[in-house]
Amino acid sequence: MGFIMRRYLYQDRPLLTAEKSRRSQAAGPKIITAHAMNKDLKSVVKFLTNASGFAMYAAIAMSESGNNDFIVWGHDQVPYGPVELPALVSWVQDERVTEDSWIYVRRDSTWMQAPQVAELQMFFRPKKKAGQGSSGASPDLRLLRRMKILASFSEEQIEHFARFIEIQEVPQHKIVVKQGDPGDAMYLILQGELRVRFFVGEKETILATLPVGEFFGDISLFDGGPRSADVVANVDSLVGRLSVSSFEQLAREAPDLAAPFLRAVGRTLTARIRADNKRLGDSVRLYG
């Protein structure tokens, strides 16, 4: 939008300007809950939907937007948006939009809570009991959505895959896998950060730092060989464990799910190998 718009909501609280709207798509709102709204929710909604209040803002703010835009009501009594679905989903994944958040859906011309928005329902479904894993913990589907290797999976595929995953909490400094131990599982990093290390004498050498969305231990699914390095939690973390036995069960019971999973793992491994080859080649040119 090539203009700056400012109207006022209840005394001196401004609606979101068009300039702030552009910034909000990147930054996003803070935690947004129903508790943060005015006590008289009906009055707020009435104001926001009448012709002199929100409808006027929405008509102008969305005049150059698509039909699938959304506006989120912030805890600071300010609407954030309009934003498109990818930005809204990222706010949900970052837990800045919760099940108590109110969202204006332009195509329906109405306010509704986040779990009622069709595109967001998969993020707010009750957790299902895991069919696998000794801990009995159920994977949060929103966490699995953070995994790059599962990016192409449908909602149904994610739900099915979750049955084979065991969730483990990993305190800071805990060793998840130890160099030399037999490999019996692959791990998905759902929260936190881990590092891959080995020791030369008494000196720790860090091979890689693994953020959310990465995985490790994948080779153990195929050969069960010894671990090549330690993997240690840098901070309190959450990992999804896919054991060799669960993977074999996945391959038997759901080959249509195992195949795209293996292709995604293979693409990631190929990218890692190419990156390592490039670093090696650069080192040879620099020091050779």
How high is the pLDDT of residue 216? 94
Q: Which fold, 141-287? A: Jelly Rolls (2.60.120)
- State mean pLDDT over 263-279: 81
Token couple for 88: 């809204």
- Higher confidence at residue 216 or residue 20? 216
- Higher confidence at residue 47 or residue 171? 171
Q: Which of 7-21, 39-53, 239-253 has the lowest mean pLDDT?
A: 7-21
Mean pLDDT (the chain, rounded): 74
What are the structural domain ranges in the chain? 8-122, 141-287
Percent of the chain predicted with pLDDT > 70: 68
6-17 pLDDT, tens digit per residue, is 333 333 333 333
Nearest to 240 by CA among 106, 146, 172, 117: 146
- CB 194, CB 231: distance < 8 Å: yes
- State mean pLDDT over 104-132: 74
Q: Which residues of 225-251 are buried (b: 16+ CB within 10 A; e: fewer)?
A: eebebbbbbeeebbbbbbbbebbebbe
- Higher confidence at residue 277 or residue 216? 216
- State mean pLDDT over 261-288: 78
Neighbours of 59 (CB within 10 A): 10
pLDDT surpasses 90 at 274: no
pLDDT surpasses 60 at 154: yes
pLDDT surpasses 50 at 256: yes
167-214 pLDDT, tens digit per residue, is 999 999 999 999 999 999 999 999 999 999 988 888 899 999 999 999
